[in-house]
Amino acid sequence: MVSSLEGFSKLDAWLLPCPIKIVAGIECPGCGFQRSLIALLQGYWYESYRLYPPTVPLLLLLLYGIVKSMVGFDRRNVIMKLLAVACGWFVLGVYVMKLWYGSHP
């Protein structure tokens, strides 16, 4: 298991700080996405999931939206809406668990 993202340590300077965490002192539902994405790009799947579980579903939703807009299928956006709602509930569930059990298990 990787304790930090050694290969991308220079990217830490470019990570955007969370304004909600700065102002309110609590993490927002998206806190951890950037580090999780970096870990995923490095190939550390478990570390990526540990940092922010909804990363892969959100990326799949983004990819589906891009392909859908290029190809033009699903004109009524039924699948897109279902995927977006499912991802939203997943993000909300992870956030509630993070608040309930703390930042890191």
Percent of the chain at pLDDT exceeding 70: 89
Looking at 46-50, 63-67, 84-88, 97-101, which range is the least confident one?
97-101
Residue 51 has pLDDT above 90, yes or no: yes
User: What pLDDT, in 10s, does the model give residues 5-46?
Assistant: 555 567 777 888 989 989 998 889 999 999 999 999 989 999
* Predicted local confidence at residue 105, as pLDDT: 47
Task: Judge contact between 64 and 80, C-beta under 8 A.
Answer: yes
Residue 1 has pLDDT above 50, yes or no: no
Burial-class residue 11 by CB neighbours within 10 Å (0-12, 13-18, 19+).
middle
* Predicted local confidence at residue 26, as pLDDT: 86
Residue 104 has pLDDT above 80, yes or no: no
Query: What Å distances lie between residue 91 and 34, 50, 84, 85, CA to CA?
Result: 14, 14, 10, 10
Q: What is the pTM of this model?
A: 0.80
